[in-house]
A = this chain, B = another copy of it.
Amino acid sequence: MTMSRSERPSIHDVARIAGVSAATVSKYLHGVKTIKSTNMKNIREAIDALGYRLDPLAGDLRRERRNILGLVVPDLENEFFGAIACRMELLAEAAGYSLSIASSHESEERELRLIQRMGDWRVAGTILAPVRSERGLGAKKMVELGMDGVLLDRVESSDTHCTVSVDNSGASASVCRTLGEIGHCHVLIIGPSDVSKSARARLNGFRNEAAQSFPDMNIGVLVLDADADIFREELALYLKVEKPTAVFSLFQKGTLIAITAFRRLGLRCPEDINLIGFDDAEWMQVTEPSVSVVVQPVARLAETAFKTLLKILDTPNGTVKLHLEECQLVLRGSVSLPKTHQGRFAIEVEPKLHI
């Protein structure tokens, strides 16, 4: 009773031992119910005896559509995308797919190559969190190759893709309203160097809300375009000279830099200056003061993107659509809150530490 010629038993080995054909074993393995029970028993026993396991790769080669999904994120070292990857992994698994995870290391050229590679693997669908936007190199390539997929997180609406993103603009408007209502008339916004869609949406969301609700608000903008240390000095200079009463950081790194800048200037927060950051992190609850932040709904983001992808795979002619997930503004020690406050977004004040 020897195996074909390879190390590992194939479906034919199982078939031979069970006294049926490979086709029947294949059916058994795929849950086809119309199999004589004696055969089922024989097959089961043969599988156990051999320790047989289906080779997903071989199946995928034969199948019209492969059971593989691709995920491309800008950076796996980033906790946010790490969390996204974690969720996707579970979701893909639950849906019977393998997930191929890759990261573009914040390079659009690499993003392009990764999309190409996903295409090479003929993945059934791809979730792309682009480096830049829905019009970046990767998204274009997906169209060019006719690949199904959804765009995630640094995107606005697109007419070629379904996109899933956080409501950056709305969340920033909420931040603006919060600061405005407290009475801040001069806010400095600090943003990342890259011109990612989300950063721009955050900036514009704030500006538009200010223009509408607080026309007198003075808004400064500083962008980190070189070294972090240089940026910190620029920031310190601005704080010293212009004396804004609040800082809104559009990205985690900026939030960190702002705190260190405050400390070096001897600025007390929230007494001398207030701070709100976009995107939460564990350490932000531990700094002195703890940082008020816009919390992004990572899990919901992943789920929406995934469900949308499955829907696209089901119905290739689905409508192209933008999904927006709402954020939550969590106020902590870095903002001096007045007695009453109300905003369109959920606001949680000094929550229990979730470490």
Chain A positions within 8 Å of B, measured between CB atoms, are: 8, 53-58, 60-61, 66, 75-79, 82-83, 85-86, 89-90, 98, 100-103, 105, 116, 119-122, 228-229, 232, 253, 256-257, 259-260, 263, 281-288, 352-355
Total identical chains? 2
**Known contacts A57-B66, A121-B57, A288-B263: does B77 contact A103 (CB below 8 Å)?**
no
Nearest 4 interchain pairs by C-beta: A283-B283, A228-B355, A82-B82, A101-B101
* A355 and B256 contact, Cβ closer than 8 Å, known pairs A77-B83, A102-B89, A121-B57: yes
Bound-state CA distance A288–B264 (Å) is 12
Q: What is the bound-complex CA distance between A285 and B259, given in angstroms?
A: 11
Whether the pair B286, A122 counts as a contact (CB closer than 8 A) is no
In the bound complex, how far is the Cα of B100 from the Cα of A259, in angstroms?
A: 39
Q: Find chain B residues with CB under 8 A from A89 CB.
A: 76, 102-103
A287: chain B residues at CB < 8 Å are 283, 286-288
Please, could you name 14 A-B residue pairs with CB atoms under 8 Å apart, sorted by A?
Answer: A53-B120, A57-B66, A75-B86, A76-B76, A85-B101, A89-B102, A89-B103, A101-B101, A229-B355, A253-B355, A256-B283, A256-B355, A263-B288, A288-B288
How far does the alpha carbon of A56 sit from the alpha carbon of B122 in the complex, in Å?
A: 9
Please name the residue on chain B nearest to A228 by beta carbon. Answer: B355
Give Cα distance in the complex from A286 to B228, angstroms.
13
State A265–B284 Cα separation when bound (angstroms): 19
